[in-house]
């Protein structure tokens, strides 16, 4: 199968939605306006922790144009999680639409619905609130001893560590072998602390949602969601409206990166429309996106490694992780678990392993799903520690990588011991080109010509650093996707999928998978996605699942369609089915003496005596989560006088199995890498002592612009994953995990300074030079 010649797969075909996006015809949630529609604004808490003693909305309600003002007294009291995850969600039920207690600066206090957004914003200023301030904590290392943050009655559906009275949102411990014995047997023990920070997804399109009743009295919700089916289920639970009476539609989305895996607007517009029987819409401002949506979880990791000098291998490794969940706990378990599960199997020859992780509540903004999802946090310390160990052993870190990494045919006990919030799944690596990635990436960055050379020009010194990574492809035995197809009279096909295209090109990828299997061209596949009424179930776009999980469903569906096409053609030609083959939308006998086109077959099936629709449906669940692999290399230039770091060149060599669309693979890797470079160098929430964000705008919160993007090179090291559709694995997340450690290692190569706290601002670089007593 790995040597199969593809006609559609493996080709950089144009995205099927490219033209509509380029000319501005694609409709986003904010573009939709309905007659008689209400506009929603929120009043937010100015305090990190407080109880609402009194709230007076009379003056706001008197404002001309105001239709509805809601406080905690007026909304359902249902505890739920906003995490758009499969049921039962591996996240605590610790959230209400509105609560009498507010838990961070930016928590919601009231909902205002008015004829215009301007009126709603003006009216919220007239709401009078008397608060009783409560003790607060913004330090995760003090969370267990601080005032309880989650509400009374908060609970977890899964049998996991959850201790809300101690502000523990999640906990995991596991061991392989005897780590203390391993340390005692080691010749050298390394130990260090690494700290990674808050960051925003910074999607170009802000979060938005609208709701309306259709002519049959059903609640329709249009939303910037990555998870339409989870949004429907959670909204149903919170509002007490049956699932059958709710429809969720995902239009075009201007980026998600995990931030739109949360369900916190759908229930609001649904409630306003339910109460008023009028359409309602909310579009968050950029400031609101920063202070009130979701972030990357900050994390502190402590790595301890014991090394044997004779074998030049890691003998024992301990990872302790402390994750700041923020004021609520969506994804508190799974993100923290991934810091171990996506990292520790990469070096599978370590005999003694221990992982201990805790997520804790603080009175700070809420962490959620974010591209990389725990692996980004875990790989920082891991790759810096590997760089330190290799230096101590006197070997090139690339040789250390190649010797130690997991390889095809191998496994790791971590796969089975540490899953995403539940028992893991034992699996064997069936495809791996990581050594090839290391070789090709190192040549592209000119590793051996530049490493340890400290090339200097004036106050600027150059260095190179590397990081190796693995991720996953869906959550095994949990994530599921489905697809439906039918054949039309002209030989075209409707493909209905629940999978959510966030701008990643997944509609195009899934169309390529279908076209390849059926034996037609991609322009004959008409894709309709992400509508809970008209598309089959799919968990949504997260956990690098779309190509692998949803693509697997499309492949199964297309195979059934292909089988039915051949069956009908055999009847038409009066030959055995196994005497036929398909090529370019035509069925031929093997001797090519007879043929029928797809259009002929479709018309025959619809209008012959055996009339029927050629159609199929299929579901797919991943039994494994085959990891993509990547080696990333950074060349940096450090100004020793100012502390400024400039990334000169960045190389990413990736094994994502068989690339379905190489151009989209490159785009995903480049986008993730730029995302990671911005995270490494600039993007950071700045808080005052009460947890108030001081830089909630793109003016003060720096994200990379075109001027900041270095020379970039993406190298695809193709393999064939036998469990994936047409040999494919995932690719969208993994590229964000390497920039932080690769840049840190490159800075050390340049000036001998280890950066262990991100982002690597000029101030931190200069402080590190001073603290480590270096004279440059």
pLDDT (tens digit, 9 = 90+) per residue, 145-156?
Answer: 999 999 999 999
Assess whether pLDDT exceeds 70 at residue 3. no
Q: Determine contact, residues 16/522, Cβ cutoff 8 Å.
A: yes
Beta strand segments in 233-279, E? 246-249
Q: Place 421 in a pLDDT band, splitting at 50, 70 and 90.
A: very low
The correct CATH number of 379-473+626-771 out of 3.40.640.10, 1.10.10.10, 3.90.600.10, 3.30.365.10 is: 3.30.365.10
Q: What is the pLDDT of residues 507-532, one digit of tens each?
A: 999 999 999 999 999 999 999 999 99
H-helix or E-strand spanning residue 288? helix 286-292
What mean pLDDT is predicted for residues 638-644? 96
pTM of the entire structure?
0.97
Please tell me what DSSP assigns to residue 13: P
Q: Give domain limits for the chain.
A: 18-26+480-621, 32-134+207-283, 379-473+626-771
> Which architecture does CATH list for 18-26+480-621?
2-Layer Sandwich (3.30)
pLDDT of res. 422? 52
18-26+480-621 shares its CATH topology with 379-473+626-771: yes
Q: What is the pLDDT of residues 217-265, one digit of tens each?
A: 999 999 999 999 999 999 999 999 999 999 999 999 999 999 999 999 9
What is the distance between the alpha carbons of residues 28 and 341, in angstroms, rounded to a whole number? 36
The correct CATH number of 32-134+207-283 out of 2.130.10.10, 3.90.1170.50, 3.40.50.720, 2.60.40.420 is: 3.90.1170.50
Instruction: Give the residue among 343, 320, 324 at the shortest CA–CA distance from 332.
Output: 324
Q: What is the pLDDT of residues 21-55, one digit of tens each?
A: 999 999 999 999 999 999 999 999 999 999 999 99
H-helix or E-strand spanning residue 135? none
Sheet-wide strand order for 645-655:
456-457, 460-470, 629-639, 645-655, 711-716
Do strands 246-249 and 580-583 pair parallel, antiparallel, or not at all (unpaired)? Answer: unpaired
Q: Determine contact, residues 325/297, Cβ cutoff 8 Å.
A: yes
Q: Determine contact, residues 170/162, Cβ cutoff 8 Å.
A: yes
Which alpha helices (DSSP H) does 344-497 contain, by range?
375-393, 397-404, 413-417, 434-445, 447-450
Assess whether pLDDT exceeds 80 at residue 542. yes
What is the distance between the alpha carbons of residues 302 and 322, in angstroms, rounded to a whole number? 9
What mean pLDDT is predicted for residues 739-766? 97
* The length of the chain, given as a count of residues: 776
Residues 6+ away with beta carbon under 8 Å from 546:
481, 499, 500, 504, 506, 509, 510, 730, 732
How far from the centroid of its chain's Cα atoms is residue 30's Cα?
A: 23
């Amino acid at each position: 199968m790995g040597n199969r010649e593809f006609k559609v797969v493996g080709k950089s075909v144009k995205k099927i939605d490219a033209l509509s996006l380029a000319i501005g015809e694609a409709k986003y949630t904010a573009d939709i306006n309905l007659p008689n529609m209400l506009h929603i604004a929120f009043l937010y808490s100015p305090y990190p922790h407080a109880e609402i003693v009194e709230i007076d909305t009379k003056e706001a309600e008197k404002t001309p144009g105001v239709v509805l003002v809601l406080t905690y007294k007026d909304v359902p009291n249902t505890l739920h999680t906003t995490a758009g995850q499969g049921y039962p969600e591996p996240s605590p039920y610790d959230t209400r639409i509105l609560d009498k207690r507010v838990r961070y600066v930016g928590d919601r206090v009231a909902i205002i619905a008015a004829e215009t957004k301007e009126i709603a914003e003006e009216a919220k200023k007239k709401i009078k609130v008397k608060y009783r301030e409560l003790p607060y904590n913004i330090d995760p290392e003090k969370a267990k001893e601080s005032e309880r943050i989650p509400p009374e009655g908060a609970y977890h559906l899964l049998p996991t560590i959850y201790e809300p009275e101690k502000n523990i949102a999640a906990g995991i411990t596991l061991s392989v072998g005897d780590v203390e014995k391993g340390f005692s047997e080691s010749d050298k023990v390394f130990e260090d602390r690494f700290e990674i920070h808050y960051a925003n997804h910074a999607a170009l399109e802000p979060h938005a949602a609208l709701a309306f009743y259709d002519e049959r009295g059903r609640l329709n919700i249009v939303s910037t969601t990555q998870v339409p089916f989870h949004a429907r289920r959670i909204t149903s639970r919170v509002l007490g409206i049956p699932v059958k009476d709710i429809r969720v539609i995902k239009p075009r989305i201007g980026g998600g990166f995990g931030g739109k895996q949360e369900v916190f607007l759908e229930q609001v517009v649904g409630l306003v429309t339910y109460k008023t029987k009028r359409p309602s819409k909310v579009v968050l401002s950029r400031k609101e996106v920063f202070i009130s949506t979701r972030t990357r979880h900050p994390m502190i990791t402590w790595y301890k490694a014991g090394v044997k000098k004779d074998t030049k291998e890691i003998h024992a490794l301990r990872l302790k992780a402390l994750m700041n969940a923020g004021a609520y706990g969506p994804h508190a378990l799974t993100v923290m678990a991934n810091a171990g599960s996506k990292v520790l199997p990469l070096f599978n020859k370590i005999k003694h392993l221990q992982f201990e992780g805790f997520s804790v509540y603080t009175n700070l903004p809420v962490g959620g799903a974010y591209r990389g999802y725990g692996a980004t946090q875990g790989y920082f310390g891991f790759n810096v520690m590997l760089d330190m160990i290799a230096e101590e052993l006197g070997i090139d870190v690339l040789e250390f990588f190649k010797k130690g990494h997991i390889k095809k045919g191998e496994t790791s006990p971590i796969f089975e011991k540490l899953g995403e919030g539940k028992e893991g799944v034992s699996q064997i690596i069936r495809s791996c080109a990581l050594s090839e990635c290391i070789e090709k990436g190192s040549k592209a960055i000119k590793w051996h010509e530049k490493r340890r050379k400290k090339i200097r020009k004036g106050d600027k010194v150059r260095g190179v650093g590397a990081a190796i990574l693995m991720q996953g492809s869906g959550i095994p035995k949990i994530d599921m996707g489905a697809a439906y197809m039918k054949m039309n009279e002209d030989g075209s096909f409707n493909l209905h999928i629940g999978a959510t295209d966030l701008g990643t090109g997944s509609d195009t990828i899934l169309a390529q998978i279908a076209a390849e299997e059926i034996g037609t061209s991609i322009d004959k596949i008409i894709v309709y996605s992400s509508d809970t009424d008209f598309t089959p179930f799919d968990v949504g776009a997260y956990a690098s699942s779309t190509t692998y999980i949803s693509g697997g469903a499309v492949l199964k569906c297309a195979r059934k369609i292909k089988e039915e096409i051949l069956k009908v053609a055999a009847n038409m030609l009066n030959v055995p089915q196994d005497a036929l083959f398909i090529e370019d939308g035509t069925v031929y006998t093997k001797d090519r003496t007879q043929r029928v086109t797809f259009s002929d077959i479709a018309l025959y099936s619809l209008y012959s005596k055996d009339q029927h629709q050629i159609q199929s449906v299929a579901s797919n669940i991943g039994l494994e989560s085959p990891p993509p692999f990547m080696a990333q290399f950074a060349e940096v230039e450090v100004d020793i006088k100012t502390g400024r770091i400039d990334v000169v060149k960045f190389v990413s060599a990736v094994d994502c199995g068989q690339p379905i669309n190489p151009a989209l693979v490159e785009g995903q890797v480049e986008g993730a890498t730029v995302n990671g470079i911005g995270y490494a160098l600039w993007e950071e929430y700045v808080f005052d002592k009460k947890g108030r964000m001081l830089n909630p705008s793109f003016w003060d919160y720096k994200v990379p612009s075109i001027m900041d993007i270095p020379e970039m090179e993406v190298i695809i090291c193709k393999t064939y994953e036998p469990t994936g559709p047409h040999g494919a694995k995932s690719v969208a997340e993994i590229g964000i995990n390497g920039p932080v450690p690769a840049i840190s290692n490159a800075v050390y190569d340049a000036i001998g300074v280890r950066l262990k706290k991100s982002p690597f601002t000029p101030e931190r670089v200069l402080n590190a030079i001073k603290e480590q007593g270096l004279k440059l």
